[in-house]
Structure 1
């Protein structure tokens, strides 16, 4: 891997110092990084970040006594490794993988197949009764459960208190459930006749 030194071009002494420092301590840097992560690519990323950090502290490094230099370098690499690991953890929280044609998050495994079938049937029944719901209930349910708007946002849109939104949502859901159950009863009586 090629390491990039971020030292101004006109600072030839600084560039020579960093080049020599890297030649002498690169093995120490990689060994320190390898103790923190297992991937070779991650190791190289950490060392590059450490070198960039060291370049920013060039004047401090040049003033350090020789015995203190390796200790300073090890601490810099360890700090970069901690930052790298913390950043990777944040990234992993937000990753959604494509597996076998469906999206699933590592945090939320798919529910059992029976549950998915029931959800699909409920969605089909809701779709069938949707036009029979009052327009205001349709809009409220759509904004809450499809657009994901908060109760505060809904209260502002419908010009009422947040507590009223909860009551309206409960009533709208109850109406939808009654219509869905009524359709089930209607279907059952139609098939019995």
Structure 2
């Protein structure tokens, strides 16, 4: 399926850059997926889905070896792994999307806002990071997360509401 993702990227220079990205981050992506998905095959599927999502948005990646690209790759992989976990959970029990834990994250520093963001559920945290930290529009963020435009807007609203609640609890507002 990596070949399919590569075919989505136009031009030999961009394809070379995509191959470099795949070589650089594939192991990290698998590690991220395995933290969420216990099944190795599901983790491989999540990585492949992530590569497809990255290929769709590849024109927005300027440097392969940058912190912004690494964060983007991790966020997309986490999102795809959560999608698969949610799909698998439907077979047994219904798990609300917001309650899937995602990665255990930490950040350096004692900034209260950062700590509030880190306490958000994975999907909300991904939306906040893509939209505000990475600078994607609401529509682009929805597309990256595999959501319709309307669902993306709603997720953004919920993420901001939850963040506001956490900030109030911390005395930031």
Q: How high is the TM-score relative to the length of structure 1?
A: 0.43
Q: How high is the TM-score relative to the length of structure 2?
A: 0.48
State which structure, 1 or 2, has the greater radius of gyration over its C-alpha atoms.
1
More strand by share: 1
Asked which structure has the greater RCO (Cα within 8 Å, sep 6+), the reply is 2
